Amino acid sequence: MKQAQTNTSLFSRLRFILVETSRPGNIGAAARAMKTMGFSELVLVNPRFADAAEQAEAVAFASGAQDVLGSARIVGSIAEALIDCNFAAAVSSRLREFSPPVVTPRELATQLSSQSGLNAALLFGNERFGLPNEAVEKCNVLINIPANPDYSSLNLAQAVQVLSYECRMAAIGDARPATDIGFQGEAAGMAQVEGMYAHLEEALVAIEFLDPDNPKKLMPRLKRLFARTQLETEEVNILRGIAKQILQTLRR
Protein backbone atom coordinates (compact mmCIF):
# COMPACT_ATOMS: atom_id res chain seq x y z
CA MET A 1 0.00 0.00 0.00
CA LYS A 2 1.26 3.46 -0.85
CA GLN A 3 1.96 5.74 2.09
CA ALA A 4 0.84 9.33 1.89
CA GLN A 5 1.22 12.33 4.13
CA THR A 6 -1.15 12.08 7.04
CA ASN A 7 -3.44 14.43 8.89
CA THR A 8 -3.19 13.99 12.65
CA SER A 9 -6.98 13.99 13.06
CA LEU A 10 -8.45 10.50 12.96
CA PHE A 11 -11.55 12.00 11.34
CA SER A 12 -9.38 12.85 8.32
CA ARG A 13 -7.29 9.68 8.37
CA LEU A 14 -10.00 7.03 8.38
CA ARG A 15 -11.68 5.68 5.24
CA PHE A 16 -14.77 3.47 5.13
CA ILE A 17 -14.82 0.99 2.24
CA LEU A 18 -17.96 -0.95 1.32
CA VAL A 19 -17.24 -3.94 -0.91
CA GLU A 20 -19.83 -5.14 -3.44
CA THR A 21 -22.79 -3.78 -1.54
CA SER A 22 -26.12 -5.05 -2.85
CA ARG A 23 -28.67 -2.63 -1.40
CA PRO A 24 -28.46 1.11 -2.06
CA GLY A 25 -30.32 1.64 1.22
CA ASN A 26 -27.44 0.07 3.12
CA ILE A 27 -25.03 2.47 1.47
CA GLY A 28 -27.19 5.42 2.49
CA ALA A 29 -27.57 4.12 6.04
CA ALA A 30 -23.80 3.60 6.27
CA ALA A 31 -23.24 7.20 5.16
CA ARG A 32 -25.61 8.36 7.87
CA ALA A 33 -23.81 6.26 10.51
CA MET A 34 -20.50 7.77 9.45
CA LYS A 35 -21.70 11.35 9.52
CA THR A 36 -23.25 11.07 12.97
CA MET A 37 -19.77 10.23 14.26
CA GLY A 38 -17.91 12.85 12.24
CA PHE A 39 -16.43 10.74 9.42
CA SER A 40 -16.87 11.49 5.74
CA GLU A 41 -14.63 9.43 3.45
CA LEU A 42 -16.69 6.68 1.83
CA VAL A 43 -15.49 4.43 -0.98
CA LEU A 44 -17.65 1.87 -2.79
CA VAL A 45 -16.04 -1.14 -4.47
CA ASN A 46 -18.14 -2.58 -7.29
CA PRO A 47 -21.58 -1.91 -5.80
CA ARG A 48 -24.39 -3.89 -7.40
CA PHE A 49 -25.74 -0.72 -9.03
CA ALA A 50 -23.35 1.64 -10.76
CA ASP A 51 -25.38 4.62 -9.59
CA ALA A 52 -25.99 3.15 -6.12
CA ALA A 53 -25.19 6.38 -4.26
CA GLU A 54 -27.71 8.30 -6.37
CA GLN A 55 -30.62 5.91 -6.07
CA ALA A 56 -33.71 7.08 -4.18
CA GLU A 57 -33.36 4.35 -1.55
CA ALA A 58 -29.79 5.39 -0.75
CA VAL A 59 -30.73 9.06 -0.51
CA ALA A 60 -33.69 8.27 1.75
CA PHE A 61 -31.65 6.10 4.11
CA ALA A 62 -28.86 8.69 4.24
CA SER A 63 -31.38 11.01 5.94
CA GLY A 64 -29.33 14.20 6.06
CA ALA A 65 -25.97 12.67 5.19
CA GLN A 66 -26.33 13.32 1.47
CA ASP A 67 -23.01 15.17 1.48
CA VAL A 68 -21.18 12.00 2.57
CA LEU A 69 -23.20 9.95 0.09
CA GLY A 70 -22.66 12.42 -2.74
CA SER A 71 -18.90 12.53 -2.27
CA ALA A 72 -18.54 8.73 -2.16
CA ARG A 73 -16.06 7.37 -4.71
CA ILE A 74 -16.82 4.25 -6.75
CA VAL A 75 -13.82 2.10 -7.69
CA GLY A 76 -13.32 -1.22 -9.41
CA SER A 77 -11.14 -3.06 -6.90
CA ILE A 78 -10.16 -3.22 -3.27
CA ALA A 79 -6.58 -2.37 -4.25
CA GLU A 80 -7.80 0.86 -5.83
CA ALA A 81 -9.88 1.65 -2.75
CA LEU A 82 -6.80 1.27 -0.55
CA ILE A 83 -4.57 3.67 -2.48
CA ASP A 84 -2.85 6.09 -0.06
CA CYS A 85 -3.66 3.87 2.92
CA ASN A 86 -0.94 2.26 5.03
CA PHE A 87 -3.21 0.28 7.33
CA ALA A 88 -6.31 -1.80 6.58
CA ALA A 89 -8.77 -3.55 8.86
CA ALA A 90 -11.31 -6.12 7.70
CA VAL A 91 -14.64 -6.20 9.52
CA SER A 92 -16.17 -9.66 9.71
CA SER A 93 -18.30 -11.75 12.06
CA ARG A 94 -16.74 -14.88 10.55
CA LEU A 95 -13.29 -15.84 11.80
CA ARG A 96 -10.91 -17.26 9.22
CA GLU A 97 -8.34 -20.05 9.52
CA PHE A 98 -5.70 -17.89 7.92
CA SER A 99 -6.30 -14.33 8.95
CA PRO A 100 -4.45 -11.39 10.42
CA PRO A 101 -4.60 -10.80 14.20
CA VAL A 102 -8.16 -10.51 15.53
CA VAL A 103 -8.98 -7.34 17.50
CA THR A 104 -12.10 -5.72 18.91
CA PRO A 105 -13.43 -2.40 17.60
CA ARG A 106 -12.21 -0.67 20.75
CA GLU A 107 -8.70 -2.07 20.45
CA LEU A 108 -8.54 -0.97 16.84
CA ALA A 109 -9.89 2.51 17.63
CA THR A 110 -7.29 2.98 20.36
CA GLN A 111 -4.51 1.98 17.99
CA LEU A 112 -5.67 4.25 15.19
CA SER A 113 -6.12 7.20 17.52
CA SER A 114 -2.72 6.83 19.16
CA GLN A 115 -0.73 6.31 15.95
CA SER A 116 -1.12 9.52 13.97
CA GLY A 117 0.96 8.16 11.10
CA LEU A 118 -1.71 5.69 10.07
CA ASN A 119 -3.91 6.43 7.08
CA ALA A 120 -6.41 3.67 7.76
CA ALA A 121 -9.25 1.94 6.00
CA LEU A 122 -12.09 -0.18 7.33
CA LEU A 123 -13.38 -2.81 4.90
CA PHE A 124 -16.98 -4.03 5.08
CA GLY A 125 -18.13 -6.89 2.88
CA ASN A 126 -21.24 -7.78 0.96
CA GLU A 127 -24.42 -8.10 3.04
CA ARG A 128 -24.78 -11.80 2.26
CA PHE A 129 -21.28 -13.13 1.70
CA GLY A 130 -19.08 -10.74 3.65
CA LEU A 131 -15.48 -10.19 2.59
CA PRO A 132 -13.61 -12.74 0.48
CA ASN A 133 -10.75 -14.54 2.20
CA GLU A 134 -8.15 -13.01 -0.09
CA ALA A 135 -9.25 -9.53 0.95
CA VAL A 136 -9.11 -10.38 4.65
CA GLU A 137 -5.66 -11.92 4.34
CA LYS A 138 -4.28 -8.70 2.87
CA CYS A 139 -5.42 -6.63 5.87
CA ASN A 140 -3.39 -5.82 8.96
CA VAL A 141 -6.11 -6.90 11.38
CA LEU A 142 -9.49 -8.61 11.42
CA ILE A 143 -12.15 -6.84 13.48
CA ASN A 144 -14.67 -9.05 15.20
CA ILE A 145 -17.51 -7.23 16.97
CA PRO A 146 -18.16 -9.07 20.27
CA ALA A 147 -21.91 -9.45 19.83
CA ASN A 148 -24.30 -11.94 21.38
CA PRO A 149 -22.87 -15.35 20.38
CA ASP A 150 -26.39 -16.74 20.02
CA TYR A 151 -27.29 -14.02 17.52
CA SER A 152 -24.30 -12.07 16.27
CA SER A 153 -25.79 -10.84 12.99
CA LEU A 154 -25.37 -7.10 12.47
CA ASN A 155 -26.42 -5.47 9.26
CA LEU A 156 -23.95 -3.39 7.32
CA ALA A 157 -24.95 0.01 8.67
CA GLN A 158 -24.96 -1.28 12.24
CA ALA A 159 -21.40 -2.52 11.86
CA VAL A 160 -20.36 0.84 10.40
CA GLN A 161 -22.04 2.58 13.35
CA VAL A 162 -20.21 0.46 15.93
CA LEU A 163 -16.83 1.07 14.34
CA SER A 164 -17.36 4.78 13.74
CA TYR A 165 -18.58 5.25 17.31
CA GLU A 166 -15.57 3.51 18.84
CA CYS A 167 -13.21 5.51 16.63
CA ARG A 168 -14.91 8.76 17.58
CA MET A 169 -14.69 8.01 21.29
CA ALA A 170 -11.02 7.11 20.97
CA ALA A 171 -10.38 10.35 19.07
CA ILE A 172 -12.15 12.74 21.42
CA GLY A 173 -11.50 10.92 24.70
CA ASP A 174 -13.65 12.02 27.61
CA ALA A 175 -14.27 15.48 26.20
CA ARG A 176 -17.89 16.50 26.17
CA PRO A 177 -19.25 18.79 23.46
CA ALA A 178 -20.03 22.36 24.44
CA THR A 179 -23.75 22.90 24.73
CA ASP A 180 -26.17 25.63 25.64
CA ILE A 181 -28.77 23.10 26.72
CA GLY A 182 -29.58 23.06 30.42
CA PHE A 183 -28.85 25.44 33.26
CA GLN A 184 -25.28 26.29 34.07
CA GLY A 185 -25.56 28.89 36.78
CA GLU A 186 -23.12 30.05 39.41
CA ALA A 187 -22.45 27.54 42.16
CA ALA A 188 -23.85 28.62 45.52
CA GLY A 189 -21.35 29.53 48.23
CA MET A 190 -21.17 27.68 51.52
CA ALA A 191 -22.61 30.64 53.44
CA GLN A 192 -25.54 30.87 51.03
CA VAL A 193 -26.31 27.18 51.42
CA GLU A 194 -26.07 27.30 55.22
CA GLY A 195 -28.40 30.31 55.26
CA MET A 196 -30.86 28.38 53.11
CA TYR A 197 -30.75 25.41 55.50
CA ALA A 198 -31.50 27.65 58.47
CA HIS A 199 -34.37 29.33 56.62
CA LEU A 200 -35.78 25.99 55.49
CA GLU A 201 -35.53 24.54 59.00
CA GLU A 202 -37.45 27.54 60.36
CA ALA A 203 -40.23 26.96 57.83
CA LEU A 204 -40.42 23.23 58.56
CA VAL A 205 -40.76 23.93 62.27
CA ALA A 206 -43.48 26.51 61.56
CA ILE A 207 -45.61 23.99 59.64
CA GLU A 208 -44.88 21.38 62.33
CA PHE A 209 -43.17 19.04 59.90
CA LEU A 210 -40.03 19.25 62.05
CA ASP A 211 -40.23 18.91 65.84
CA PRO A 212 -37.36 20.98 67.28
CA ASP A 213 -37.46 18.92 70.49
CA ASN A 214 -37.18 15.68 68.57
CA PRO A 215 -35.60 16.53 65.20
CA LYS A 216 -34.19 13.05 64.63
CA LYS A 217 -32.09 13.18 61.45
CA LEU A 218 -34.36 15.19 59.18
CA MET A 219 -32.05 18.14 58.59
CA PRO A 220 -28.89 16.02 58.13
CA ARG A 221 -30.74 13.94 55.55
CA LEU A 222 -32.02 17.02 53.74
CA LYS A 223 -28.50 18.44 53.72
CA ARG A 224 -27.17 15.23 52.23
CA LEU A 225 -29.93 15.30 49.61
CA PHE A 226 -29.14 18.87 48.55
CA ALA A 227 -25.37 18.25 48.67
CA ARG A 228 -25.76 15.72 45.86
CA THR A 229 -27.40 18.36 43.64
CA GLN A 230 -24.52 20.88 43.67
CA LEU A 231 -26.84 23.79 44.33
CA GLU A 232 -26.57 26.97 42.30
CA THR A 233 -27.20 30.46 43.66
CA GLU A 234 -30.52 30.81 41.86
CA GLU A 235 -31.68 27.46 43.21
CA VAL A 236 -30.80 28.50 46.77
CA ASN A 237 -32.77 31.69 46.23
CA ILE A 238 -35.79 29.69 45.04
CA LEU A 239 -35.72 27.46 48.11
CA ARG A 240 -35.40 30.46 50.41
CA GLY A 241 -38.28 32.09 48.57
CA ILE A 242 -40.42 29.02 49.28
CA ALA A 243 -39.46 29.09 52.96
CA LYS A 244 -40.21 32.81 53.15
CA GLN A 245 -43.65 32.35 51.58
CA ILE A 246 -44.49 29.56 54.03
CA LEU A 247 -43.60 31.76 57.00
CA GLN A 248 -45.46 34.78 55.63
CA THR A 249 -48.59 32.73 54.99
CA LEU A 250 -48.60 31.33 58.52
CA ARG A 251 -48.26 34.80 60.04
CA ARG A 252 -51.31 36.24 58.31
Tell me: do 47 and 167 sit in the same domain: yes
CATH number where 148 lies: 3.40.1280.10
Residue-level pLDDT, tens digit, the chain, 252 residues: 444 444 589 999 999 999 999 999 999 999 999 999 999 999 999 999 988 889 999 999 999 999 999 999 999 999 999 999 999 999 987 777 667 899 999 999 999 999 999 999 999 999 888 898 888 988 999 998 998 888 878 899 999 999 999 999 999 986 665 555 555 688 888 999 999 999 999 999 999 999 988 988 999 999 999 888 888 999 999 999 999 999 999 888
Range of the domain at 242: 190-251
Q: Give the 3-state secondary structure of residue 152.
A: coil
CA–CA separation, 197 and 201 (whole Å): 6
Note whether 166 and 234 are same-domain residues. no
Statement to judge: residues 211 and 244 lie in one domain: yes
Any idea what the CATH number is for the domain that residue 202 is in?
A: 1.10.8.590
Residue 170 and residue 9 in contact, taking contact as beta carbons nearer than 8 Å: no
Same domain, 194 and 164: no
Q: Are residues 142 and 210 part of one domain?
A: no
> Does 17 fall in a domain?
yes
Q: What is the number of structural domains in the chain? A: 2
Contacts of 159 (CB under 8 A, 6+ apart): 91, 124, 145
Residues 121, 25, single domain; the answer is: yes
Coil, helix or strand at residue 126: strand
Torsion sign, CA atoms 154, 141, 165, 147: positive
- Show which of 117, 137, 172 is a domain's final residue: 172
pLDDT score of 150: 86
Residues 154 and 225 in one domain: no
